[in-house]
Structure 1
Amino acid sequence: MSSPLSVILTQNKLTGENFNDWKRNLLIVLNFEKHSFVLAQPRPPTPAIDAPDRDFVALERWDNSNLSAMCYIRASMSNVLQKQHEEHQT
């Protein structure tokens, strides 16, 4: 985690009992990093080969933000919860 705000997540790891506090802190970080949109918007469909560049850019942006959000989420979980959720892709 590279953001100074990520300290919030490091100091408030999800343990299972603190979900509401953890979620609130996670959303602060994801909003600041401009990654929170992936929580509400589905992944754009893969564009056709002749689609406009903006379609490819939108897909790449979503994929990059989704990866970042997943990393923030996993890194802010306790080790036990990380192991339970390591197979989840999105």
Structure 2
Amino acid sequence: MAIGLSLRSILDANKLTGPNFIDWFCNIKIILKQEKKAYVLDGPVLEEPSDDATNEEKEVYRVYMDDLDQATSVMLASMAPNLQEQHEAMNALDIILNLKEMFDKESCTKRFDISRELFRGQMFEESPLRPHVLKTIGYLIRLE
């Protein structure tokens, strides 16, 4: 679990303040992926199983809700206090949707800036290929 603790320290150093939403969200996805909980961000919240559901269905739901609660806690712990207060009654999915709404203009501008740098990138004659390719891949990953 030492790896999990060291990865979570990334979030301590890079708390969400607003303009850094894209970087923060990338870090959240890395942490949750490492902890095998990133799947909770992939879709709507599971519906609670009915009373006549199998024990397996009830267990799947219980595990999912535990993972969703943990993802929500990680997100809230890595936010500035004013954002924590705004989102404390939401689950991880609702938090992400709300933050995307709040900071969409900033993300659009940041995507534009990254795209501009990507398209301006030129490789000059007799310059090494490797640094150019790595820089281009870096831009593409940031855009993703």
Q: TM-score, normalised by structure 1?
A: 0.87
Higher relative contact order (CA 8 A, sep 6+): 1
Q: Which among 10, 19, 41 is matched to residue 8 of structure 1?
A: 10
Listed as ranges, the gaps of 5+ residues in structure 1 are: none
Give the superposed CA RMSD.
1.6
**Alignment correspondent of 2:46:** 44
Moved over 4 A (4+): none
Report the CA distance shift for 1:42/1:19 in structure 2 as closer, same or farther (over 3 A). same
Q: How many residues are matched?
A: 89
Distance in 2, matches of 1:37 and 1:84, equals 24
| Residue 63 of structure 1, CA deviation | 0.3
- 1:35 corresponds in structure 2 to 37
Residues 69 and 91, structure 2, Cα contact 8 Å, conserved in 1: no
Residue 111 of structure 2 corresponds to which residue in structure 1? none
Q: Which runs of 5+ in 2 are unaligned?
A: 93-144
Conservation of the 8 A alpha-carbon contact between 2:76 and 2:84: yes
Q: TM-score, normalised by structure 2?
A: 0.57
Q: Distance in 1 between matches of 2:64 and 2:44?
A: 9
Bigger radius of gyration, 1 or 2?
A: 2
Give the corresponding residue for 1:25.
27
Identity of aligned residues (%): 36
